Structure 1
């Protein structure tokens, strides 16, 4: 089975709102077998553009990554971060 990944890049604009999201979102991720591979504020931009935080989450399958995003558990967590940060989230399929 091909793994799935979330690539998340974020700029936090309201730390308190984002803190609520950061407490709830990992519960939704775990529910779908997701595992945080990278969760860091520290990075070096070597080309292009980025945001201040970068996260990589691995799921047991591409479909599990999509199902997590579409789940009510994640969507409820997502509501907590609205107006708390600017995010780019890409769901990608791993190599077979």
Structure 2
């Protein structure tokens, strides 16, 4: 069952964050993940949530998402992101309709 990593990011250092953006796609692809949303425009429909940058990743399953997040392929990029931005990140399992 597909799983999604949903991220809200407030960028504090745009130069460092650009470096992060260059390193991340290959690490995601190594775990069969893909970008569904990558920083597009947002519109608040309810509540007072005013997110900065929003990213949604799709992985084949939650295990693949966890392996990516803990991987050596992502480690350097993750360290850069953590120093360049304030991040909220969750893992959500999808729904199997079959």
The 8 Å contact of residues 4 and 92 in structure 1, kept in 2 or not, is answered as yes
Unaligned segments of structure 2, at least 5 residues: none
Shift of 1:51: 2.2
Runs of 4+ in structure 1 off by over 3 angstroms are: none
Structure-2 residue corresponding to 1:5: 4
Q: Superposition RMSD on alpha carbons, in Å?
A: 1.2
Following superposition, the deviation at residue 66 of structure 1 comes to 0.9
How does the TM-score come out when normalised to structure 2? 0.89
- Structure 1, 47-56 or 11-20: larger mean CA deviation: 47-56
Instruction: Report Cα offsets for 1:60-81 as digits up to 9, x if no partner.
Output: 1111111111111112211112
What residue ranges of structure 1 are gaps of 5+ in the alignment?
Answer: none
**TM-score (norm. length: structure 1):** 0.90
- Is the partner of 2:32 in helix, strand or coil? coil
What is the aligned length?
Answer: 95
**Partner residue, 2:28:** 29
